[in-house]
Amino acid sequence: MERAVFDEAALQTDVDAKITAALERLAVAMHKSLWEAAYAEDLTATQAQFLTYLASMGNTAVSMSDLAHRFGLSLATVSEAVRALVTKGLLEQRRSANDGRVREVRLTMQGRRRVKALLHWADAIRDQVAALAPQAKGLLLDSLLELIARLQQAGLISLTRQCQTCLYFQPHRHTDPTAPHHCGLMNQPLPLTELRIHCPDHQTRPPAPSPSAPSP
């Protein structure tokens, strides 16, 4: 019987369990940094995430369903967080001009001022990433993006616009270990450090066809 991820014996011998446990430690550090920044502004971590995400979208309104999809939350949870932010005067909510059934939100002027205190919540973690060797950064980014793509395929994470899920991405086409992949759109090798987690030219790769059932 396979041991649980956090079983002490598994953490000594099972490399898959070690990696999963390491990711959990990173998640704790990320959540702690976000929670502390949110608490300082009298917000929940979810509310802080919504504000920083909307700030990254500029003046573009975002629908409630988009927020639910982006953060893997139920519409009820999104509605509760948005309602609190509207009450605080940080968000405005209105019906979409294109579809009256869709509710959209965007930052208010007060929200834009307030979010400035939240934008650097991950800086302490990025400082530690910056201390890694350049080659290690490329390998780490490549591995993380491949894992994210697998989690997306397994239905455990929302759709991303990264290289590994793109129609134009051609893995391991080149012998250069620092740029092994190829971008069909640009028709050139992709250095590992230049892999994208959000590409405006992303075209979702269609799912692989299911293997045919064997003939009787």
pLDDT of residue 145: 95
pLDDT of residue 146: 95
**Residue 4: Cβ-neighbour burial (10 angstroms; 0-12, 13-18, 19+):** exposed
SS3 52: helix
Domain 1-131 falls in which CATH fold?
Answer: Arc Repressor Mutant, subunit A (1.10.10)
Using CA atoms, how far apart are residues 97 and 61, in angstroms rounded to an integer?
11
Q: What is the pLDDT of residues 177-196, one digit of tens each?
A: 999 999 999 999 999 999 99
pLDDT of residue 205: 86
Q: What is the DSSP letter of 94?
A: E
Using CA atoms, how far apart are residues 95 and 102, in angstroms rounded to an integer?
6
**Residues linked to residue 169 through DSSP beta bridges, in sequence order:** 183
Spatial contact of 85 and 67, defined as CB atoms under 8 Å apart? no
Spatial contact of 140 and 191, defined as CB atoms under 8 Å apart? no
Spatial contact of 162 and 204, defined as CB atoms under 8 Å apart? no
pLDDT of residue 168: 95
pLDDT of residue 129: 96
Q: What is the pLDDT of residues 83-115, one digit of tens each?
A: 999 999 999 999 888 877 888 999 999 999 999
The ranges assigned to domains in the chain are: 1-131, 132-194
**Residues linked to residue 181 through DSSP beta bridges, in sequence order:** 190
Task: Please identify every stretch of the chain with a pLDDT value under 70, giving residue numbers as ranges.
Answer: 1-3, 208-216
Using CA atoms, how far apart are residues 128 and 106, in angstroms rounded to an integer?
32
pLDDT of residue 157: 86
pLDDT of residue 186: 95
